[in-house]
A and B are shown apart, each in its own frame.
With several copies, the nearest count.
Chain A
Amino acid sequence: MTEHTDERHTVLRLLREEAGNIVKTVPGPLASLSLRVGEWALDISWAHGTAPAAPLPPVMATEEETEADDTGLHEITAPLVGTFYVAPEPGAPPYIQVGEHVRAGQTVGIVEAMKLMNPVKSDLAGEVVEVVTGDATPVEYGQALVRIRAEEP
């Protein structure tokens, strides 16, 4: 039931936010607006047929902020359960450094599982913003290892 309600909340919020976005993006004053997602629908019409493009209320602003944290940022995650190493062997220099540029396919670290060394490769080119997980740390599947800012194409 609660999950169910949550789901409704999300869809409704989606509709609401979208309405806000439309008002922001669509040029000219609106008289009415109709949104429909499957069985979900939102219809609004404005008084004196005018929808002034106004700044969005704080509720949504915050939500955008929270997403803003990792805008343009890409996470490389652990491909399996194991132990994460930043370097090929103890004492050796790490595969990557923060600020350094990585190519797509470049190894950024290894996850060791059952004595097997599994190289972790970057799936895109960009700049290393942060090495999230420390050396020799146990990681779960999907755990964030490295953050990369994707290159502008």
Chain B
Amino acid sequence: MSFSKILIANRGEIALRIARTCRELGIETVAVYSTADRDARFVAYADEAVHIGPAPAKRSYRYPPAIIEAALRAGAEAIHPGYGFLSEDADFARICTDHGLVFIGPSPEVMECVGDKARVRALLAAAGLPILPGSDGPVATPAEAEEVAERIGYPVIVKAAAGGGGRGIEPAGDRAELREVYRRTTALARQVFGNGEVYLERLVQAPRHVEVQFLADTHGTVLHLGDRDCSLQRRNQKLVEEAPSPLLPDRVRERLGEYAVVGARRVGYTGAGTMEFLLDAAGEITFMEINARIQVEHPVTELLTGVDLVREQIRVAAGEPLGITQDQVALTGTAIECRVNAEDPSAGFRPTPGRLTSYHPPGGPGVRVDSGFGQGDVIPPDYDSLLAKVIVWAPTREQAIVRADRALAEFAVEGPGVATTIPLLRRLLAQPDFVAARHSTAFVDALTNEFNPMEKTSERPADH
């Protein structure tokens, strides 16, 4: 069984990227759009499009009834949620099933399991994955939190069980601070995620963010597609991602792959997923969380492996076996993704929506561009500020870095009031610490003189 029509419940570059694979698979696409995206390219690209609501996402892209109705009337058989919005909403996945629509992602049960960070942490610890010292599951009271903190030692980090994208996580240096942080995080978690549960872990100072891409089908095949390093972050928002993670010893790399497969099996995962790890200064790796969605940075894995991850997601959702085996997964060269956001780094990364009077993407050897925009398009102020992803491949990391810089230098984006992160990205690529791969997740914040890397920034959209 395969699909003949898929509704894409997302917008911008990822909606377009999903539609591209659908077109190659001969599957019709249905776009859904808010009033703000009326003229967007992903809308024109789809075979059909349904206007589902006004600009605010909670009344359009995050509003299940509108999307389900659109899918039913268009006769779509499946819904691809992309990243963000409803992509990790188990209830939405259930609603899809209730209406005879295939949700392209893991089962609602698995989504709930991996969505509860405290629970999946305990589960995978039991499965033999290394985790940081911390609470066994959620901590119910400030007193319990302090108790745990005394046991594992300060500084600790308080995390919302239902949190994500770097939101609802905050460090605490001592008992007094912990009481305050516990209160704040619990409140935020209740407010933002509708679930106040938090858990504690020992804080790792300036870790590296390493993640493993994995695929699992409904026939028992689970395989990993290598690791990615996403340590170049600003306030937990990824700016640059690369694969493979530089300076990672082969034995560690292999171990990470095994952990991903073991973990995916343990939770009964199907589809494409990512397992996040922290790598501390001593080279110790610990499991962080599982992301049950296609990620913004998935193209670096695609360039390294030649595997179309969205294609495999769709195959798996259609009940087909994966198109590849583990020994067919070859990792060659280095791939780097640079996120070009319509933001002004010189003004606190304020989003700069507006019309693109000039847009000329880079090209030539080893360059891939994923974008939802073109010349004359308007970047609406209502959503995240991702303008384009410039992804490059080269035989070596050194060449990949110069190629990324070459591509960014070629990228011509202009518009009244529109600023981009291109200059910042080029500056980052030129940093000796990055070139030598000595950078940690604290690097960018230190560079941009923001000394609180763990600080949550409620004005920023959650990362994907």
Contact = CB atoms under 8 A, between A and B. Distances in A.
Interface of A: 1-7, 80-82, 113-114, 116, 138, 140-143
27 contacts: A1-B39, A1-B41, A1-B44, A2-B44, A2-B358, A2-B374, A3-B355, A3-B376, A3-B378, A4-B376, A5-B39, A7-B355, A80-B52, A80-B53, A81-B51, A81-B66, A81-B70, A82-B65, A113-B65, A113-B69, A114-B95, A140-B50, A140-B51, A141-B53, A141-B66, A142-B35, A142-B51
A82 B41 contact: no
A116 B65 contact: yes
Interface of A is mostly: mixed
Contacts of B358: 1-3
Nearest to B32: A81
A62 B82 CA distance: 41
B445 interface: no
Given A4-B355, A81-B69, A114-B68, 8 more contacts: A1-B41, A1-B44, A5-B376, A81-B70, A140-B52, A141-B52, A141-B53, A141-B54
Closest A-B pairs by Cβ, 9 of them: A6-B376, A3-B376, A140-B51, A81-B69, A2-B39, A113-B65, A81-B66, A114-B65, A138-B73
Contacts of B376: 1-7
Given A2-B378, A142-B51, A80 B65 contact: yes
A114 B375 CA distance: 38
B357 interface: yes
Contacts, number: 78
Interface string B51-86: 111100000100111101110010000000000000
A93 to B, nearest CB: 26
A3 B375 contact: yes
B355 A6 contact: yes
Interface in B27-59: 35, 39-41, 43-44, 50-54
A1 B50 CA distance: 16
A140 B51 CA distance: 6
B377 interface: yes
A101 B40 CA distance: 40
A116 B69 CA distance: 11
A136 to B, nearest CB: 12
Given A4-B357, A6-B355, A141-B51, A82 B69 contact: yes
Interface string B387-419: 000000000000000000000000000000000
A113 B66 contact: yes
Nearest to B35: A142
B353 to A, nearest CB: 14
Contacts of B40: 2
A132 to B, nearest CB: 16
A2 to B, nearest CB: 4
Given A3-B355, A4-B357, A81 B378 contact: no
A6 B376 CA distance: 6
A59 to B, nearest CB: 17
A144 to B, nearest CB: 12
A121 B431 CA distance: 56
A83 to B, nearest CB: 8
A56 B2 CA distance: 60
A80 B41 CA distance: 23
A1 B376 CA distance: 5
Nearest to B54: A141
Nearest to A142: B51
Nearest to A111: B69
Nearest to A118: B65
A140 to B, nearest CB: 4
A27 B357 CA distance: 35
A2 B415 CA distance: 12
Interface string B360-394: 00000000000000111110000000000000000
A81 B33 CA distance: 11
Nearest to B98: A114
Contact of A1 (B64, B68, B95, B357): B357
